[in-house]
A and B are shown apart, each in its own frame.
Chain A
Amino acid sequence: MRRLKDLIARRAMLVLAAVPGLLVFLMLFGLLSRSKAILALKSFTGLLFGSAWHPLKGEFGFLPFLAGTLWVTLVAMVIAVPVSLLTAVYLSEYAPRVIREFTKPVVDLLAGIPSVVYGVWGVLMVVPFVGNVLAPLFGVYSSGYSVLSGGIVLAIMVFPTIIHVALEVFSAVPHELRETSLSLGATTWETVKHVVLRKGLQGIIAAVVLGVSRAFGETMAVLMVVGNVARLPKSVFDPAYPLPALIANNYGEMMSVPRYDSALMFAALVLLLVVLVFNLGARLILVRIERKVE
């Protein structure tokens, strides 16, 4: 009887263990089959690089949205990469125990804050700051709802991702290497520069790639501060309309315009593909590092 229970449990668990992998494929398959209607009309690249967006006339060009996503992601990474990496280096190489114990939960909490709350904060603080302070400083007009605002909010949202992965990478660098460098008379920073960062380079790349892919798909917070104007942005003070925001904003009317739903599912498919490629790359690097440590 006990053996039978064990056997049943083993079989059931085996089936369930296949679920995560299956889910990834189901997502790809589901989105692909829903995008068929729009792909029948125009080629993959034609959709991606077309710049005319008139759903009512049946024109679906995703270029403005793709450009919006790339702009916002780029700005976010320009801010987030140096800040997160410097923080990670500080926490792993310099910080006294007390500070480390205090900062790690803070980073965890930052990761746990819902994206709408980031959005509300962005509207309250970042948008006015960009519109009333930064834009006049550069002598341009901006409503504040801009690529820059989106990038700033997004940067804070990806801090935890990059910091976490970077910390893991740094802790995988053997202590003997650091000690050798220090005993040769190198300062702590020199040790970081020549040993820790060099040894961890691949892992750092993986951390940044994971950050990029997190930024790429973030929806609500960006949507709330970025302005949502379907035009190619010319500067960081211009509004943009990222791909995820497009999906989220139009779910209401997508069933009433022909092929609109298919176009939005295509947008989701593009997001999924980009994020999958980035994640696969980053995870493969990280798995390799983990193997080396073991």
Chain B
Amino acid sequence: MRTSRRRRLEERVFKVLMLASTVIVTASLLVIVATVVVKSLPALRLSMLVQTPKGGYYLGKEGGILNAITGSLYLASGATLLAVLLSLPVVLYINLYARKKSVLATFTRFSLDVLWGIPSIVFGAFGFIVMMTLGLRASLLAGIITVGLLEIPIMARAMDEVIRLVPASLTEASSSLGATKLETALKVVVRQALPGILTAVLIAFGRGIGDAASVLFTAGFTDSLPRSLFQPAATLPLAIFFQLGTPFPEVQERAYASAAVLTLIILAISLGSRALIKRFTRHSIK
């Protein structure tokens, strides 16, 4: 009987530990978001979102972070576009053209997994080398290239997961009607997997807009709005980092506010993509 009591005790203890762990994981998200949002309230004003930094902004004078918001949006959009152009063909190829178990497909999937694990600071350093080789200087374009490369594994892996799930019967039906592989790929597979593909794009966009270490070397920073691909562009993560680094409490508060803005953008993107899935899955063939 004693052993049975011990067994039940062990069961209880671990169940409590597991529940506690799950609570810790869940609560950390809430605590992080809540802390940042609450701390940002004193500095968060509309004027901050629609103005660029005026003279002495980093000393606590007037201005806002519009330069960083637009810079980040441009940079992440460009990078995401680049990543789509590179990822979608790769994923279509390894799923439709390559034979099952083909060496290239296995190798490509493996490389994507490995790329996914490479830290963004290494992408930043590599982007810097590419920049030097191409004779570019720190600019919006260099940032787009670096972040685009960073987004490829994130996007391609997510796309691969959904495109793999497209039933073979659909592609076979399309081929038997005389469609070429390309027509099948674009008109059947992409359409069927569209919600998943869009989610993959949004996830990658979110990752791109939030990454700081990769743009540190490559995109530069400026107080004005981005005007050309060949000029430096400000980004939101770096704006947060720089404002927090000043010794002035007013400016640090703006860093919190900027962090809240970035967090809300990211949350909106994730929640938006979830809604998208729900909405679009109605149209795909089950």
Closest to B256 in A: A120
Determine, out of A6-14, A40-48, A56-64, the stretch whose residues face the partner at the interface: A6-14
Specify which chain B residues have a CB less than 8 angstroms from the CB of A107 in the assembled complex.
Answer: 25
Q: Considering the complex, give the chain B residue whose CB is closest to the CB of A218.
A: B119
Q: Which of B57-65, B149-157, B163-171, B222-230 contacts A (4 or more CB under 8 A)?
A: B149-157
A116 and B240 contacting across the interface, CB-CB below 8 Å = yes
Nearest CB on A from B247, distance (A): 13
Instruction: Give the size range of B's interface with the partner.
Output: 35 or more
Residue contact A159 to B112, C-beta cutoff 8 Å: no
A83-111 with Cβ < 8 A to chain B: 83-84, 86-87, 89-91, 94-95, 99, 102-103, 105-110
Q: Which one of B21, B93, B114 contacts A24 once the chains associate, using CB atoms below 8 Å?
A: B114
What are the residues of chain B within 8 A of A115 when measuring CB–CB?
210-213, 237
**Chain A interface (Cβ < 8 Å from any Cβ of B):** 2-3, 5-6, 9-10, 12-14, 16-21, 23-24, 26-27, 30-31, 34, 82-84, 86-87, 89-91, 94-95, 99, 102-103, 105-110, 112-121, 123-125, 156, 159, 163, 187-190, 192, 210, 213-214, 216-220, 224, 244, 247-248, 251, 264-265, 268, 271-272, 275-276, 278-280, 283, 287
B177 close to chain A: CB less than 8 A: no
- For the complex of A and B, 4 pairs with smallest distance between CB atoms: A217-B119, A114-B210, A268-B125, A90-B18
Chain B positions within 8 Å of A192 at CB level: 14
Whole-angstrom distance from the CB of A154 to the nearest CB of chain B?
12
22 A-B pairs in the complex with CB atoms less than 8 angstroms apart: A3-B180, A9-B181, A10-B97, A13-B93, A17-B104, A20-B108, A20-B112, A23-B115, A30-B126, A31-B125, A84-B25, A94-B18, A110-B29, A112-B210, A112-B266, A116-B259, A117-B259, A120-B256, A121-B35, A187-B11, A217-B121, A247-B125
Question: Smallest CB-CB separation from B97: which chain A residue?
Answer: A10
Partner pick for B118 among A27, A110, A156, A247, CB 8 A cutoff:
A27
Question: Roughly how many angstroms separate A105 CA and B29 CA in the complex, as a whole number?
Answer: 11
In-complex Cβ contact of A247 among B19, B89, B121, B270 (8 A): B121
| CB–CB A87/B11 < 8 A | no
Q: A112-B270, A224-B244 are in contact. Are A24 and B25 (CB under 8 A)?
A: no
A14 to B20, CA, bound (A): 49
Nearest CB to that of B98 among chain A residues?
A: A17
Neighbouring B residues of A244 by C-beta, 8 Å: 119, 121, 213
Nearest chain A CB to B177 CB, angstrom units: 13
The reply to whether A120 and B36 contact each other, CB–CB distance below 8 Å, is: yes
Is A268 within 8 A of B122, CB to CB? yes
List residues 149-196 of chain B with CB under 8 A from any CB of chain A: 149, 152-153, 156, 180-183, 185
**Chain B nearest CB, measured from A254 CB (Å):** 9
Given A14-B97, A189-B15, A272-B122, A113 contacting B152 (CB threshold 8 A): no
* Across-interface contacts of B152 in A (CB, < 8 A): 19-20, 23
Residue B41 CB within 8 A of the other chain? no
Check if B203 is an interface residue, CB within 8 A of chain A. yes
Asked if A90 contacts B90 (CB within 8 A), the reply is no
Please indicate the chain A residues that have their CB under 8 angstroms from the CB of B77 in the complex.
none
* Closest A residue by C-beta to B94: A17
Q: Mark B75-101, 1 if CB is under 8 A from A, else 0.
A: 000000000001001101110011000
Q: Identify whether the interface residues of B are mostly helix, strand, loop, or mixed.
A: helix
**Nearest-CB residue, chain B, relative to A187:** B11
Instruction: Known A17-B98, A86-B21, A117-B259; judge A124-B237 contact (CB<8 A).
Output: no
Residues of A within 8 A of B284 (CB): none
Q: List A contacts of B210 (CB < 8 A).
A: 112-117
CA distance A99 to B35 in the complex (A): 24
Residue of A nearest to B125 (CB): A268
Note all chain A residues with C-beta closer than 8 A to B74. Answer: none
Roughly how many angstroms separate A163 CA and B86 CA in the complex, as a whole number? Answer: 29
User: Contact check: which of B21, B121, B209 meets A90 at CB < 8 Å?
Assistant: B21
Q: How far does the alpha carbon of A214 sit from the alpha carbon of B185 in the complex, in Å? A: 34
Question: Which residues of B have CB within 8 Å of A5?
Answer: 180, 182
A212 CB, nearest partner CB in chain B, Å: 10
Contact B129 A18 (CB under 8 A): no
Q: B17 contacts the other chain (Cβ, under 8 Å)?
A: yes
Q: Quick one: closest A residue to B40, CB to CB? A: A120
A251 and B119 contact, CB distance less than 8 A: no
A residues less than 8 Å from B130 (CB atoms): 30
A14 contacts B122, C-beta separation under 8 Å = no
Contact B182 A214 (CB under 8 A): no
CA distance A216 to B117 in the complex (A): 10
Interchain CA distance A123-B39 in the complex, whole Å: 12
* Nearest neighbor of B92 in chain A, beta-carbon distance: A13
Contact assessment for A86 and B18 in the assembled complex, using a CB-CB cutoff below 8 Å? yes
